[in-house]
Amino acid sequence: MAWLAELALLLVRALHLLVLAVAPTWLSPEPLPPHALALAGSLSAAALAAALGLSAWFAARLETRLARNGAALLWLAIAVSLGASLYYRGPRAPLAQGAALVGVPLWAALATLAAAAAEHWLGSSFKHRRMGSAVAVVGLGAVQLLGAASLLGSPERMWWEALRRDGAHLRAVDELTRPLLERSKPDELEGAAARCLKMHPPAAPAAGAPAVAAPATCACLALRAEARLRSRKAEAALRDAEAARARCPEQKGARATLAEALAVAGRTERAEAEARAALAEGGDPSRLRYALALAHERAGRLAEAREEAERAVAAGAGRKAQLLAGALAILAGDLEGATARLTPLVKQDPSDAEALYNLALIADKRGDYNGARQGYLAALKADPRNADARYNLALLTFRAGVVEESRHHARKFLDGFPEDPRGRELAQATGTPLGAAGGSGALPSWSGEPRVPRAPEAPDAARRRTPQDAAASSGAR
């Protein structure tokens, strides 16, 4: 029955928390549910009952006020541990946050019981026997709790400690990396994944045996692949994703990451096969539909790509899928649909450079000079390395007759992106001196239209289209 399982888990966590209150570094700050929950719950109930019974027996045996007070404080500590275990669970975990709360009545109980025992069993020759015993126990408790203050004061440190102790603690991996994923911090995400892999490194497979790894190892390999995808390191991301898939084939998240990495690396047929197989096995449709959309987009099947991107968004996919859906809508000429997809991203994060850029491109296509200019500038403020925004801003101002500003942006483009082949035609069009940045060779023709790369075959080698094929930033480069 479900309520019995909940009760057993509560008793296990309450006993765990009592031990953490005594010695915060002995156990994991957030334990995983035991495999034999019924047995663990029974043993925990027996241990708690024994503590209650022994304290009651002790108070009755000594028949002193100190003994009764100590027993009452111990009962209070156990009650507090049960209440804290109920509170510090689910989204309010880790459990060790309640250690100090339980520690106060628990160490007070131990100090009082020690004073009562000293008064009863130590002879009258021992001066200050009650005070000395109580002070010694309180001092020990202070040393234990203050020594672990840095751990108990930081949920992040608690999650790291829980992960260090248990390579199967996927909840800890999720808690530590989800904020980085939500804030789009690929460098920090890669650093967190590297720290995780240092704790639980992937072992080299034995000859003739399949590679195996702790669940956290596979999860962190997949997360490092995700970080490298966001940093446009396609081949490195693919290596991590394949390693995670090989070591933990049962982890559906690793398979979704592999499908996405394959799509970004341009291996579209395998990406599509991997994503469809994972969907058939009940994988996360939001991630797998997004991987399918990427694969179709890389293969040039834009209508199918947009359909899958919209399915991914409907399934609950986040920013990446919405950004891709918006970019594909721009490619299809559906500017209203693109605006509807992209505007919420900017409301959620006003510094989302790619969403700002795509909205500026929409304004540019509509002939809205002020809206396009402000949008490109906002995108550059959010990401000064956005070459497409700088390029289109130079074109926009040149077409509007604002020649000096156009040359200013062209110069910035030439200085910031000296290897970009568009620099020469931009310099030719705006009359900006090439200097040392523009290279040499014949000047290409220039159409005067906004020119933007589609999502490339691989992040490390962006493919440039002709002006007529210009598209928006899909965020999957």
Taking residues 363-383, report their average pLDDT: 95
State residue 209's pLDDT score.
52
Using one digit for the tens of pLDDT, what is the confidence trace for 48-65?
A: 999 999 999 999 999 999
Average confidence score pLDDT of the chain: 87
State residue 250's pLDDT score.
81
Identify the CATH number of the domain defined by range 343-477: 1.25.40.10
Residue 422 has pLDDT above 80, yes or no: yes
Residue 439 has pLDDT above 70, yes or no: no
Residue 123 has pLDDT above 70, yes or no: no
State residue 468's pLDDT score.
32
Taking residues 101-112, report their average pLDDT: 95
Residue 410 has pLDDT above 90, yes or no: yes
State residue 94's pLDDT score.
96
Using one digit for the tens of pLDDT, what is the confidence trace for 424-436?
A: 989 988 888 876 4
Residue 127 has pLDDT above 70, yes or no: no
Sorted by where each begins, the domain ranges of the chain are 2-165, 343-477
User: Torsions phi, psi of 291, nearest 5?
Assistant: -60, -40
| C-alpha distance from residue 213 to each of 167, 178, 242, 249, 381 (Å) | 9, 22, 13, 11, 43
List alpha helices for 63-201, DSSP H: 65-87, 99-121, 129-147, 149-152, 155-165, 170-182, 186-199
Helix or strand (DSSP H, E) at 344: helix 335-348
Residue 445 has pLDDT above 70, yes or no: no
Using one digit for the tens of pLDDT, what is the confidence trace for 311-364?
A: 999 999 888 899 999 999 999 999 999 999 999 999 998 999 999 999 999 999
Taking residues 275-291, report their average pLDDT: 93
Residue 470 has pLDDT above 60, yes or no: no
Residue 446 has pLDDT above 90, yes or no: no
pTM for the whole thing?
A: 0.77
Using one digit for the tens of pLDDT, what is the confidence trace for 132-183?
A: 889 999 999 999 999 999 999 999 999 999 999 999 999 999 999 999 887 7
CB contact at 8 A, 379 and 415: no
State residue 124's pLDDT score.
62
Instruction: For residue 2, name the pLDDT band (cuts at 50, 70, 90).
Output: confident
| C-alpha distance from residue 443 to each of 18, 421, 427, 438 (Å) | 76, 10, 10, 10
Instruction: For residue 231, name the pLDDT band (cuts at 50, 70, 90).
Output: confident
State residue 318's pLDDT score.
86
Q: Please name which of 137, 134, 126 lies closest in space to residue 66, comparing C-alpha atoms.
A: 134
Spatial neighbors of 298 by CB under 8 A, at least 6 apart, are: 263, 264, 266, 268, 271, 455, 457
Q: Higher-confidence residue: 446 or 346?
A: 346
Residue 128 has pLDDT above 90, yes or no: no
Residue 210 has pLDDT above 80, yes or no: no
Q: How many CB atoms sit inside 10 A of residue 98's CB?
A: 25
Q: Quick check: bond before 94 cis, omega within 30?
A: yes
User: Torsions phi, psi of 333, nearest 5?
Assistant: 85, 10
Helix or strand (DSSP H, E) at 30: none
Rounded distance between C-alpha atoms, residue 373 and residue 366, angstroms: 12
